[in-house]
Amino acid sequence: MFDSAQKWRTNFCHPLAKEFQLKKFSLKHQPIDDFAKSQWQKGSRSLCWLIYRWLLAAFFTAVVCDTMINLFYAGKWFIYLTAWGFFLCMLTSLYGAIIVSIYYWRPHDFAAHPIVFKIYWVSYWTTLVLATVITLVYWSLLYPYDKSGISLTYNLLGHASNSILMVLDHMLVAFPTRILHFVYPIGLGVIYAIFSLIYYFAGGVDTHGDHYIYTILDWAEPETAVITIIICFALLSIMSFLLFGLYKLRCFIYRKINKSVLVLQV
């Protein structure tokens, strides 16, 4: 029993405690080419991974273009957090596709500008966490009272496909996850909360003429709005921890598969 407890501390508690060191706030990681690779590719470069990244970028771009054409609402498309989230999915996936393309075709120029990868890491993590929280909040709190009349197809595209695809992608990429990077999606949450407040005092309305963007973020009832923001910040933090768990699961599966392959080769 003592050995089991010692193994638990060694394999779980100690590595988890290291994730809360101040240096984990940073955006430094080596090798830098992890940002252009899949966890599962065999060689240093992969044509399949390159094609996949462009297909993912094409999907998000197509959905953004389609929703902006059909659900633009005289520019009010931009007031919704769902639109922000999906726009980030498009930008991040395009960014990732470009990075993989550069690495595939010109690997000798790949590590010239480290800031490129820091921006990508922040945008990727923010997009991933935000997508999952948007899906959770929409289907649990907003969907029962949604009077927009949007078809189920568009609802699934906007409030389900984003999180499903981003989580699947999270299980494919090679770069790591840091728990303390939860500050980045929360930072975007702060920006959106400030935007919603400014929009309210500027007399902005939603697509139905209501003087709020979301019923749960109605600044005519500031206590409710503040509680909503606090809950959302908590969800962003919790989701960051859960997605870190998925990252550790990805690494565990990868090690097990590689170990099995090595045993078979021996």
* Neighbour count for residue 66 (Cβ, 10 Å): 12
Using alpha carbons, select from 158, 119, 137, 123 the residue that is nearest to residue 215.
Answer: 137
Beta strands in the chain, from DSSP E residues, in sequence order: none
Whether 2 has a pLDDT exceeding 60, the answer reads: no
Ranges of each domain in the chain: 42-265
Contact 81, 134 (CB under 8 A): yes
Q: Which two tokens stand for residue 231?
A: 């809950």
- Region 23-42: mean pLDDT is 90
Q: Is the dihedral of CA 46, 48, 53, 54 positive or negative?
A: positive
- Region 245-266: mean pLDDT is 76
Between residues 249 and 12, which one has the greater pLDDT? 249
71-106 pLDDT per residue, tens: 888 889 899 999 999 999 999 999 999 999 999 998
- Whole-number average pLDDT of the chain: 88
- Can you give the pLDDT at residue 8? 46
- The type of residue at 220 is A
Which range among 64-73, 112-121, 192-201, 252-261 shows the weakest confidence by mean pLDDT? 252-261
* Spatial separation of the C-alpha atoms in residues 185 and 123, rounded to whole Å: 9
SS3 assignment, position 211: coil
* Spatial separation of the C-alpha atoms in residues 19 and 25, rounded to whole Å: 9
* Spatial separation of the C-alpha atoms in residues 140 and 218, rounded to whole Å: 18
SS3 assignment, position 37: coil
Whether 127 has a pLDDT exceeding 60, the answer reads: yes
Contact 158, 86 (CB under 8 A): yes
Q: Which two tokens stand for residue 262?
A: 């090595």
* Spatial separation of the C-alpha atoms in residues 220 and 191, rounded to whole Å: 19
Using alpha carbons, select from 183, 129, 136 the residue that is nearest to residue 160.
Answer: 136
In terms of Cβ atoms closer than 10 Å to its own Cβ (0-12, 13-18, 19+), residue 57 is buried
- Can you give the pLDDT at residue 74? 83
- Can you give the pLDDT at residue 231? 95
Whether 5 has a pLDDT exceeding 60, the answer reads: no
Percent of the chain whose predicted confidence (pLDDT) is above 90 = 62
- Can you give the pLDDT at residue 140? 86
Whether 70 has a pLDDT exceeding 90, the answer reads: no
